[in-house]
Amino acid sequence: MAQNLTWDTIFSTYWWTIQLDPSHPSNTGSIELSGYSKAQGHRETSDKHQRLCSILLMFIQRKYLEKSKRIMIYKRSAAFIDKDHDNLVLELTPFDYVLHPIYSDRRTEMIMFLKTLYNEVLKGNSVEYLKPKKKIVLTANIDAELNVDKYFIVTHDQLHTTVERLLANGHSKKAVEHFYKKYVEKLERKNLRS
């Protein structure tokens, strides 16, 4: 799927150049490759640290690290990529790396990630366990059902009984208070129309 994407050469957070080692047996053709962290028409994760970790793991998976002399990763420093002014944040070689001081997104975590990554790669071990875990975003929770439009309550006594039942069923006090205020407003609007 990734091969069919058009990469965003303007708005990607990261971009890189890979200087392939011409003496490596699998390298034929182009000596320098470039890449971008975002595909056109797609959103890039807001977690830039996680995005860079994923890029580094991609370099390992596709064997770019072992086939290259150097990989230089830049971070866009303005609204658009500017290859003359963007900051070089990370240099990789098959056996070492340099994380430049300009890189500040969770710097300590990145240093630990790079140390672990290189330690595993140099030992010939798998780095699968280093893949960032996908964040699961829950769109609904127990308090999401507290929509005033889902209830048919006519009196204040019924509202108080409903509030007590909601609290007893584990809804948060804050969510129930919000529900109560909204329902009181609904009852008052209904009474005004009557």
- Comparing CA positions, the residue from 84, 79, 89 lying closest to residue 10 is 79
- Give burial (CB, 10 Å; 0-12/13-18/19+) of 96: exposed
Q: How many angstroms separate the CA atoms of 131 and 177, rounded?
A: 41
Q: What are phi and psi of 65, to 5 degrees?
A: -65, -45
- Sequence-ordered list of residues with C-beta below 8 angstroms from that of 167, at least 6 positions apart, any chain: 173, 176
Tell me the whole-structure pTM to 2 decimals: 0.66
pLDDT per residue of the chain (194 residues) written in tens, 0 to 9: 456 788 999 989 999 999 999 999 888 877 899 999 998 878 888 888 999 999 999 999 999 999 999 999 999 988 889 999 999 999 999 999 999 999 888 899 999 999 999 999 999 999 988 887 665 544 445 556 677 777 788 888 888 888 887 877 677 788 888 889 988 888 887 776 65
Q: Hey, what amino acid is at 63?
A: K
Q: Which residues contact 93 (CB under 8 A, 6 or more apart)?
A: 68, 69, 70, 71
Q: What confidence tens digit (pLDDT) does each residue in 11-44 have?
A: 899 999 999 999 998 888 778 999 999 988 788 8
